[in-house]
Chain A
Amino acid sequence: MSTKRVITYAEAINEALREEMKADPNVILLGEDIGAYGGVFKVTKGLLDEFGSDRVIDTPISETGFTGAGIGAAMTGMKPVVEIMWVDFTLVAMDQILNQAAKMTYMSGGQTKVPLVIRTQGGGGRGNAAQHSQSLETMFAHVPGLKVVVPSTPYDAKGLLKSSIREECPVIFIEHKMLYNQKGEVPSEEYFIPLGQADIKREGKDVTIVSLSRMVHFCLDAARELQNEGIEAEVIDLRTLVPLDLELVKKSVQKTHRLVIVHEATRSYGWGAEVAARIQEEAFDELDAPVLRVGAEDVPIPYNLNLEKEMLPQVRDIVDAARNALYLSV
């Protein structure tokens, strides 16, 4: 019997970590202030007490060092979940992530497994400025060898993190700082969500809107506004960028014949371009309008909240794009 509960995104992630640590003694956590402090977003709260300092390991501020240590430990039998406090800080550790973790299996001809999860959080919305607000998922998706997970709800976050920890290749798991307190239904029974399965968050027949992470909620708000005008938008949450569930997007486009892609990352060279390209390659005849993209302006993220809001995609932008895709005047 499924028990309905409502918990936050942060609590859901915490549960996933706790369950996987209980299930497998090789699962360890590494990161800055994840132990006694419980993580800056309190995601690892209580885990030190439950599992001890051998498994919940506080690190110095040394992202390259401890990320690489996670890789080395993964190669030799552990299943580390490394927390990099802000996705912006992954840039400090990029050699270890992109040159080492991503390529080990291939370079060794399949000998090496790197069952490593890098948990981090990104996104703007609270004035954290240019080095603490980015959406960098495309960078990781661009390098073969990494899986990239970008969940939007507590339910997805928990199920996807549990699956990520059971992967045998490195997974970049990007949470969103503005979602940690967002609540959602999460069953108390154990469940997993396989990587590579997008999810229809709202069904509709007139226009397909594809997104992930926090922007999914903006898209749902936009869909409600569109509904008032008699437009039924279908909102698809990709949930994982790698593997990419293009099939579900294609299926939706076969129904709606119109596609809008929404991401919080800067528009140019974002994953929206990839999805747009793939859809026109594989479903060109289904399209009744050009594929449109909504993304952040191509600038570093400003500190000032008004400017930040101006820079990041807003519900209005999504509504306008959907109307454009339907050739309605904006």
Chain B
Amino acid sequence: MKMTEGKKQELSREQAIWMYQKMVEIRKFEDRVHELFARGILPGFVHLYAGEEAVAVGVCAHLNEKDSITSTHRGHGHCIAKECDLNGMMAEIYGKVTGLCKGKGGSMHIADLEKGMLGANGIVGGGFPLACGSALTAKLKGTDAVSVCFFGDGANNQGTFHEGINLAAIWKLPVIFVAENNGYGEATPFSYASSCTDIAQRAAAYNIPGVIVDGKDVMAVYRAAKEAVIRARNGEGPTLIECKTYRNYGHFEGDAQKYKTEEEKQENLSERDSIQIFRQYLLSNNVLTEQELDRIDNDVEKAVSEAVQFAEESPYPSADELLKDVYVSYQ
């Protein structure tokens, strides 16, 4: 397929493929985890990222392996967008020894340090100070690495939000704070829990840029993140990006979601699906063809099935793993 004559594409073909593929990976991975959990195959509990794909992918499209991210309890999407291995992720969720954390972390603590994924986090707001720390390392070592702190709207009333952003602002740390405002902190509406109408407003209190984007539109996220990442790499300090999004599933699997209205479900699950929006963008701008997109869908479907198979066939950790990794050096 030829590119549109005379008009420079905003995304290269490679970028477009990468972004679409990562979004589909997240969706299919999460849909599969949903199904596995419902069948009682997975232990613990899981918080699914489906519906919010545009956020993780639009931001991580600008990152490389030297850049770090901190994540949340809803972290699978961030892992995938930061290029964590699907097999290792699925095995981790299964609690298998081949998991990224040898089955010791699980869904809420997936980490892959080699990829710059510092860890999902079971504590709402736990990542703000950590992201400041990895950004401090970059600043002190004089690299141009940036840190991204993903957080949900529920975290913007935690003290760590304010302490982290303040620290990043006074030290001009290369951090991008990415709010995923899906409208609910667990089951409590954002409008009830927060004194502000938008999280981005709070950036003003810390004298840093605060922008609001349509978190369903990966290109909108991509553009805002591009500017923020450039700013951070240039030593100009942090940015707060608020992405208005929606979580397709409940807070956790098993959540009856009675607090959601029919209208919002209709709007977000069918009319404003982030993958469909991006697909339309790619087609109408002649970046990728239907066939190419379908092929990606099929490849991802296979990759997710392989991940499930890998996880199922992997062994559980042996009992002697229990006492390892508590202290790095213990007597």
Interface positions of A (Cβ within 8 A of B): 28, 54-55, 57, 59-60, 62, 64-78, 80, 95-96, 99-100, 104-115, 144-145, 147, 167-169, 196, 243
Minimum CB–CB distance from B240 to chain A (whole Å) comes to 16
One digit per residue, 1 when the CB lies within 8 angstroms of any chain A CB and 0 when it does not, for chain B 82-113 equals 00000000000000000111111100010111
Asked, given contacts A147-B327, A167-B329, whether A108 binds B133 with beta carbons under 8 Å apart, the answer is no
**Inter-subunit contact A111/B101 (CB<8 Å):** yes
| Of the residues A75, A96, A106, A145, contact of B134 by C-beta under 8 Å | A75
Residue among A54, A78, A107, A112 having the largest count of chain B Cβ atoms under 10 Å: A107
Minimum CB–CB distance from B328 to chain A (whole Å) comes to 4
The stretch that binds A, out of B157-165, B277-285, B304-312, is B157-165
How long is the Cα–Cα vector from A181 to B100 in the complex, in angstroms? 49
B300 at interface by CB-CB < 8 Å: no
**Inter-subunit contact B130/A110 (CB<8 Å):** no
The 5 closest A-B pairs by CB, nearest first: A72-B133, A68-B129, A65-B163, A109-B102, A109-B101
Minimum CB–CB distance from B170 to chain A (whole Å) comes to 7
**Inter-subunit contact B328/A71 (CB<8 Å):** no
| Of the residues A75, A105, A169, A243, contact of B133 by C-beta under 8 Å | A75
Nearest CB in chain A to that of B317: its residue: A109
How long is the Cα–Cα vector from A80 to B140 in the complex, in angstroms? 12
The contact sample of 24 A-B pairs, CB cut-off 8 A, is A60-B167, A62-B166, A64-B163, A67-B129, A68-B128, A68-B133, A71-B133, A72-B118, A75-B118, A76-B118, A76-B137, A78-B137, A80-B133, A100-B121, A106-B104, A111-B100, A112-B113, A114-B328, A145-B327, A147-B327, A167-B328, A168-B328, A168-B329, A169-B327
Interface positions of B (Cβ within 8 A of A): 68, 70, 99-105, 109, 111-114, 118-119, 121-123, 126, 128-138, 140-141, 147, 159-160, 163-164, 166-167, 170-171, 324-331
Asked, given contacts A28-B140, A69-B129, A112-B119, whether A145 binds B326 with beta carbons under 8 Å apart, the answer is yes
**Inter-subunit contact A105/B164 (CB<8 Å):** no
Nearest CB in chain B to that of A146: its residue: B327
| Of the residues A57, A75, A107, A243, contact of B130 by C-beta under 8 Å | A75
Q: With A71-B133, A105-B325 given, name 11 new contacts (CB 8 A).
A: A62-B167, A64-B163, A65-B160, A72-B70, A72-B131, A75-B133, A76-B134, A80-B133, A100-B130, A107-B104, A108-B325
Minimum CB–CB distance from B116 to chain A (whole Å) comes to 9
Nearest CB in chain A to that of B66: its residue: A76
**Inter-subunit contact A107/B101 (CB<8 Å):** yes
**Inter-subunit contact B129/A64 (CB<8 Å):** yes
**Inter-subunit contact A66/B129 (CB<8 Å):** yes
